[in-house]
Amino acid sequence: MTSSNQTLFEKSQQLIPGGVNSPVRAFRSVGGTPIFFKKGLGSRLWDVDGKEYIDYINSWGPMIVGHAHPEVIKAVQDVAENSLSFGAPTGLELEMAELINKLVPSMEQVRLNSSGTEATMSAIRTSRGFTGRDKIVKFEGCYHGHSDGLLVKAGSGLLTFGEPDSGGVPASVAAHTLTLEYNNTQALKDLFAKLGDEIACVIIEPVVGNMNLIVPHVEFLQTLRELCTKHGAVLIFDEVMTGFRVHLGGAQALYNIKPDMTTLGKVIGGGLPVGAFGGRKDIMQCLAPVGKVYQAGTLSGNPVAVTAGLKTLALIQAPNFHVNLAAQTTKLIEGLKAAANEAGVIFNAQSVGGMFGLYFCEHCPTSYHEMMQSNKEHFNHFFHSMLDSGIYLGPSAFEAGFVSAAHSDEDIALTIAAAKKAFQSL
């Protein structure tokens, strides 16, 4: 019997490229048919056939308080009655800016937009306008959205499909992007010694989530901060994924590194499309209408999306929220490691706050090169075994996973039980 997922996917491929609106959803890396969902509640999802799953994607991070949290849903319903959009200022935008500044003090001024891609693209343009320089630096395997200059040795879906660069990106644009190995402090020093005064900005995921979870060496981040200060380059922390998830103040608070600019997304929309970028006031004052750098968006600061974000940010400020989130995530990965060890399978895992990484290799990777040594075939087998057991993980060996506040001890126990079966089958 053909499942509804299969039927929908076959129809979708006729009208939507690859049948999906974001490439990693197509299951091309792991094989099989994508799952089409119709409902989420707490830690659980239900597909179009009514099958229930424990969700460790969490819409790739935003659902930090769980799906369909009643307070978030109620807030969205209430504000939606006043209209879905104005294309004009609202008090909600100011409330969001004040809250972001309170939680992430390095963001002295903030501008809202509609996605993480838009936020990183705009932060880089602002940095170039501020410095008068063209060159930007990024790191192998780090994904900062799909704007042209950032699709050079990027992570996320590009790693999944084995494409280090995207078609459609002019060589003249890519030429301004310099790429270094993540966590390689010496390479960083060498580049700045040679080209430091030509670099407009360095953009980095302070904790990488787009080539699976890669944790930074603190010395690496500290050196990056020192070199940017010395050479007048703008340091941009892409906290679209890590913001409010690894720590209430983001990765910058966790590692005590103050960037010049920060990009946000995901959690600040509570599941609706929102992005934001901000930083030092002198840099942000380069933006129109007060400065020469143009950036705009019809739906920027959309009242419904901002409301979902405000309510989510209110909920995560509860006492010990992040302590408990990190504890549940640690409980998950320790249980998975024990299950793999019991089955004699080469496997490792680690977590930062509510993010985790799973690797079929002996050591937790620290760079793109090391991540590529992980056994992708073992991951694919593990993924499908877990999916059959009702555990929904990211459909790629190169994506981090996410735990929400709704994940209970029972959820963790069921996940570990399913993993025992999966590891034994390997």
* Predicted pLDDT at 403: 98
Measured torsion, CA atoms of residues 264, 268, 270, 272, in degrees rounded to the nearest 10 = -60
Residue type, 248: L
Compute φ and ψ for 161, nearest 5 degrees. -95, 5
Burial 366-382, CB ≥16 within 10 A → b, else e: bbbebbbebbbebbbbb
Flag the least confident range among 30-44, 136-150, 240-254.
136-150
pLDDT of residue 148: 64
Q: Mean pLDDT across the chain, nearest whole number?
A: 93
Are the C-beta atoms of 113 and 119 separated by less than 8 Å?
yes
**pLDDT at position 143:** 84
Residue 162, pLDDT above cutoff 70: no
The average pLDDT across 328-333 equals 98
Quickly count: other Cβ atoms within 10 Å of residue 254's Cβ: 18
Mean pLDDT of 95-108: 98
Which pLDDT value is given to residue 21?
Answer: 87
Residue pair 149/124 in contact by the 8 Å Cβ criterion: yes
Residue 52 has pLDDT above 60, yes or no: yes
Q: Which residues is 235 bridged to in the sheet?
A: 202
Average pLDDT over residues 325-349: 98
Going along the chain from its start, the domains and CATH numbers come out as 4-64+320-425 (3.90.1150.10), 70-315 (3.40.640.10)
Instruction: Evaluate the CA torsion angle 297, 299, 305, 306 in order and state its sign.
Output: positive
Please tell me whether the overall predicted TM-score, pTM, comes out greater than 0.85 for this model: yes
For residue range 355-410, what is the model confidence (pLDDT) as tens digits? 999 999 999 999 999 999 999 999 999 999 999 999 999 999 999 999 999 999 99
Q: Are 214 and 208 in contact (CB under 8 A)?
A: yes
Q: State the DSSP string of 203-263.
A: EE-SSB-SSS-BPPPHHHHHHHHHHHHHHTPEEEEE-TTTBTTTBTT-HHHHHT---SEEE
Burial class (CB in 10 A: 0-12, 13-18, 19+), 108: middle
pLDDT, one tens digit per residue, over 117-149 is: 999 999 999 999 999 999 999 999 888 877 766
Catalytic residues: 143, 238, 266
Q: Picking from 21-35, 79-93, 342-356, which range would have the lowest pLDDT averaged per residue?
A: 21-35
pLDDT tens readout for residues 257-286: 999 999 999 999 999 999 999 999 999 999
pLDDT value for 308: 98
pLDDT in the model for residue 343: 98
Peptide bond into 289 cis (omega under 30): yes
Six-digit token string for 297? 């968006």
**Radius of gyration (Cα) for the chain, nearest Å?**
21
153: pLDDT strictly greater than 70: no
Among 399, 44, 45, 58, which residue's Cα sits nearest to residue 245?
Answer: 58
> What single letter denotes the amino acid at residue 326?
A
CA–CA distance, 318 with 408 (Å, rounded to integer):
17
Average confidence (pLDDT) over 2-16? 91
Residue 157 has pLDDT above 50, yes or no: no
Query: At which residue do the structure tokens 């399978």 appear?
Result: 345
How far CA 300 is from CA of 96, 197, 230, 297, in Å, comes to 12, 34, 34, 5
State mean pLDDT over 110-119.
95
- 44, containing H or E segment: strand 44-47
